[in-house]
Amino acid sequence: MPLSNEKNSVSEDLISDSDSSGLSESTASSSDYDSSRQSFTSDSSSKPSSPASSPPKSVTFDELMAAANDLSNMILAHEIVVNEKFHLEQIDLPEKSVESRVKEIVHKAFWDSLESELNEDPPEYEHAIKLFEEIKEILLSFLAPGANRLRNQICEVLDIDLIRQQADHSAVDICGLANYVVNTMGKLCAPVRDEDVKKLQTTGSIVQLLRDIFHVLDLMKMDMINYTIQNLRPHLQRQIVDYERTKFQEILDKTPNALSQTTEWIKESIEDILSTLPSPGTEQSSGSNLSPTQVLNNGYLKLLQGDYQTKALPETLMTDETRLQELKEKLNHVKKV
């Protein structure tokens, strides 16, 4: 769905200038009236830059999945642009759900196994080393391209080959490595995570400390994603119209009937407007004028007045379903007042 300040240009893409001028000249005869109807409903009225559908054809599963992936990416980009409060959050499973219970059992088994290995005589460090290897990659992913000093320091302290050699000679300092990780997290985290990092420093058990480190790292990864989204938004706002037009065309190339609801919505709007025009041959009909903007405005108004819970939205508006519902509620409130 294009931004509001692009609505007129998109209207022109959906219905060409030649069609609108032809309609403005339709007056006395019924043949002119019919030709006006035909000019709006004909596929030939689309500009080359508008998404153009192809004749129906069979679609493979891979093509369908590719189209779904394109749509998913477009929905995400659209939401980032139009919703300034958009951000990602970690999903917490329902406390008593099967998924939550399974996750709890698996995690407990893993950390219990790690604790058992570290308590052996001599300790078994292989799983712990793999955890530090994963932690190292996460910390490096937080660094800006120019942070070479900290990057080199992390690679030097968390040198996995060296740690394995130390483990083979029972000389590895797991607690020291964990404390270094916590201190480094304090340098990289957002201010909102300072308190979480401080709590890590008071954790006594090395196994619990590693477990808590991964929990806070997950929060930091989410912070980084949302920070990236915030910085990306201005760039997306400048490109979103062309991006969505291109994506819709790619979807149409893979699934030719992907905009069937949108086509039907526009046709219904045209039919609705034409039904209110004076009959052909009357004096008032000579001044009748039907514009692309009028068609779209009428279509939007019908959406706000109708019940699209029982009827599918146009594909080009699916990303704005929640916002349309909010507008509909405001409109109903104004009517009551």
CA distances 71 to 6, 89, 131, Å, are: 20, 21, 36
The half-sphere exposure of 207 on its side-chain side, counting CA atoms within 13 A, is: 15
Q: Which residue has the higher pLDDT, 274 or 310?
A: 274
Give the predicted TM-score (pTM) of the model: 0.63
Contact call for residues 80 and 234 (beta carbons, < 8 A): no
Residues 264-294: tens digit of each pLDDT:
899 988 988 888 877 665 554 444 567 888 9
pLDDT in tens, 107-118: 999 999 999 999
- Domains of the chain, by residue range, sit at 1-53+259-337, 104-231
Q: Kindly indicate the confidence band of residue 13, based on its pLDDT and cuts at 50, 70 and 90.
A: very low
pLDDT at 335 over 80: no
- Measured distance CA(279)–CA(215) in Å, rounded: 70
pLDDT of residue 33: 38
Q: How far apart, in whole angstroms, are the C-alpha atoms of residue 160 and residue 102?
A: 31
Spatial contact of 20 and 292, defined as CB atoms under 8 Å apart: yes
